[in-house]
Amino acid sequence: MTIAEYNNCVEKYSDGVYRFILKNIKDSDKAKDIVQESFVRLWDKVKEVDYQKAKSYLFTIAYHCSIDEIRKDQRMISMEEMTTYFDSTMNTFSDHKEIINEAVDRLPEIQKSVVLLRDYEGYSYKEIGEITNLSEAQVKVYIYRARIFLKKYLVRLDVVI
């Protein structure tokens, strides 16, 4: 990849990577850090990465960095803080978007990631498999299970009211 192609990647993909990470970790500062780290790692491999595969490479790096960040944060949050957070946010929705975001947040991390890559970013099953190191069949199963959960969660009366 040339320097011009790298700069083109920054212009084309930085917003998409940021949105994907922000949906996963819900912290704009950490999302910006992960995007920056992704582009630094791409720069380190600029001679080795093919320009045609740069987008997939970036999302793969960002995905793995976000998983690392989530794991690090989980070790730092106590159960008491989690209980307080859920008690204070339950049933305080003002619109449908918040309800959907709450439902997506309740998904296991892998299901959340594949659903966001498929439905929010528009990746194919094959591309999602490459990003997450899963087979195409596993990706389809995770997406199917996530959609079943979302469907059941979103039709519950206590969530909507």
What CATH number corresponds to the domain at position 150? 1.10.10.10
Asked if residue 2 and residue 70 are part of one domain, the reply reads yes
Q: Is 22 domain-assigned?
A: yes
How high is the pLDDT of residue 141? 93
Compute the distance between CA of residue 91 and CA of residue 127 in angstroms, rounded to an integer.
36
Q: Which residues contact 109 (CB under 8 A, 6 or more apart)?
A: 24, 67, 70
24 within 8 A of 117, measured Cβ to Cβ: no
Pick the last residue of a domain from 76, 108, 140: 76
Q: What is the DSSP letter of 96?
A: H
Compute the distance between CA of residue 87 and CA of residue 141 in angstroms, rounded to an integer.
32
Domain count, the chain: 2
Q: Is 88 domain-assigned?
A: no
Which parts of the chain sit beneath pLDDT 50? 93
Pick the last residue of a domain from 47, 76, 105: 76
CA dist list (Å): 138 to 26, 135, 147, 157 = 26, 5, 14, 31
How high is the pLDDT of residue 90? 52
Compute the distance between CA of residue 91 and CA of residue 21 in angstroms, rounded to an integer.
25
Asked if residue 107 and residue 60 are part of one domain, the reply reads no
CATH number at residue 46: 1.10.1740.10
How high is the pLDDT of residue 3? 87
Asked if residue 64 and residue 122 are part of one domain, the reply reads no
54 within 8 A of 42, measured Cβ to Cβ: yes
Q: Could you give the dihedral angle defined by the CA atoms of residues 103, 104, 106 and 112, in that order, rounded to the nearest 10 degrees?
A: 160
Asked if residue 64 and residue 127 are part of one domain, the reply reads no
Asked if residue 151 and residue 106 are part of one domain, the reply reads yes
| Interval 74-105: pLDDT, tens | 666 555 555 555 555 555 545 677 878 888 88
CA dist list (Å): 122 to 14, 22, 125, 148 = 16, 16, 9, 19
Asked if residue 59 and residue 4 are part of one domain, the reply reads yes
Q: Is 84 domain-assigned?
A: no
Structural domain boundaries, residue 37: 1-76
